[in-house]
Structure 1
Amino acid sequence: MQVIIDLLPVILFFIAYKKAGIFVATSVAIISTLVLMLIVWIKRGKIDKMLMINGAVITVLGGITLLLHDKTYIMWKPTVIYWIGALALLFSRYVFQNNLIARMLGKIIEPPANVWDKLNLCWVLFLIGLGSLNLYVAFHYTEENWVNFKLFGTTSLMFVFIISQVFVLKDYWIEHTPPA
């Protein structure tokens, strides 16, 4: 369910794009992200850092897109988010000695420390690659191809990447026994 909630602004962007074009879609993405942040804040009393970063980036780059009537800025948005994520993983691990991947997945898998570092590096490289691929599609294909890639391409690549990790990490899965 959380994945659908996280994808909601992208899905709404896609629908708005198909109905009314890139600038209306950008407005819808900004508004839906801000509404999602408000709902999360009302329900939980706090907003996740990634949602906060995404909200800031979509508001700034989407706002510039609308202000200048130039789609280039909204096309940069996914890349900026992916590269911020990659930087966060790198800085967290090598500057603060805190592996964010281990913090997120530590309750379900227990690999050795070197596997955590490899997993972290895999995510860094994947996010850098995904951001670069977004720019390639944005500036070498049509706007419509980019919009389709934004929803279907990146979501599919993310899904395949995560599933491949499940297979690689299956030996480290923590078995939870249900209460009697």
Structure 2
Amino acid sequence: MSKTPETDGAVPAKSVNPMLKSALEFGPIAAFFAAYILLKDQSFDIGGTAYDGFIVVTAGFIPLLVASTLVLWRLTGHLSKMQIVTLVLVVVFGGMSVWLNDERFFKLKPTLIYLLFGGALGFGLMRGTSYLEAVMDTALALTREGWMILTRRLMYFFFGLAALNEIVWRTQTTEAWVYFKTFGLTAAIFLFFMTQGKLFKDHSLEAEEETAE
């Protein structure tokens, strides 16, 4: 049995309580949203410089995400490439927002994340392979054609999310963007996979085996 790039030579991920895992993955985002709602209209004078609530909340979100990611890695012994890339971009662009007292850098982060993921999937497609399969093959059992179709759709979807994030943060208020980032993007990804039911059914390995019989 061949190994995927995600697991080749790596120690298998340890099992962890699903509730704890979800809390570590989504807890920092929920905390960011709650803190923003509480502090959005406040201003803080730190070292003679005025920082609005969004910047202060961003400053707290960065170490919280780092800590939760490290705990998740310690418990499971594994981090996905998506988690690593997200953490790096949060630290870099969130840090720039705090350092320069400019919220635009943090708002740009989702755009770059989705462009990177969409670009990586597109690069794999040009090579005739599905990098998505390497990441999700343990979660979905699809034919090669199914993986290629899903990868192509997800690539376009990621590019669409990148464009949508640019439109929202450049044309809407910070509060509107926070709601969009917290709920809109999450809901969009959930709906995307919910609408792929026919693909999962038509290109499942079980359906192919039944047809072959």
TM-score in terms of structure 2 length = 0.73
Quote the residue 1:122 is aligned against: 153
Structure 2 CA distance for aligned equivalents of residues 84 and 3 of structure 1 = 24
Quote the residue 2:25 is aligned against: 6
Q: Does 130-139 or 36-45 show the bigger shift?
A: 36-45
Measure how far apart 1:50 and its partner are. 1.5
1:21-60 correspondence runs (5 A) = 21-60=53-92
Structure 1 CA distance for aligned equivalents of residues 193 and 37 of structure 2 = 29
Runs (5+) with no aligned partner, structure 1: 176-180
Q: 1:120 to 1:3 in 2, by over 3 A?
A: farther
Structure 1 CA distance for aligned equivalents of residues 205 and 25 of structure 2 = 26
Contact 2:36 2:54 in 1 (8 A): yes
Quote the residue 1:150 is aligned against: 181
Quote the residue 1:165 is aligned against: 196
Structure 2 CA distance for aligned equivalents of residues 114 and 173 of structure 1 = 10
Quote the residue 1:19 is aligned against: 38
Size of the aligned set, in residue pairs, is: 173
Measure how far apart 1:8 and its partner are. 2.5
Q: 1:22 to 1:8 in 2, by over 3 A?
A: same
1:90-114, Cα deviation, whole Å (9 max, x unpaired): 223324x431222344343333x33
Contact 1:12 1:28 in 2 (8 A): no
Runs (5+) with no aligned partner, structure 2: 1-17, 40-52, 207-213
Structure 1 CA distance for aligned equivalents of residues 73 and 204 of structure 2 = 32
Quote the residue 2:164 is aligned against: 133
- Aligned match of 2:120 in 82, 85, 88? 88
Structure 2 CA distance for aligned equivalents of residues 32 and 74 of structure 1 = 15
Helix, strand or coil: the match of 1:156?
helix
Q: 1:132 to 1:17 in 2, by over 3 A?
A: same
TM-score in terms of structure 1 length = 0.86
Contact 1:62 1:74 in 2 (8 A): yes
Measure how far apart 1:174 and its partner are. 4.8
Helix, strand or coil: the match of 2:71?
helix
One-letter amino acid of the counterpart of residue 176, structure 2: N
Contact 1:110 1:172 in 2 (8 A): yes
Quote the residue 2:129 is aligned against: 98
1:51-74, Cα deviation, whole Å (9 max, x unpaired): 111111000100110011111001
Structure 1 CA distance for aligned equivalents of residues 22 and 55 of structure 2 = 25
Decide which structure has greater helix share. 1
Contact 1:16 1:24 in 2 (8 A): no
Structure 2 CA distance for aligned equivalents of residues 31 and 105 of structure 1 = 28
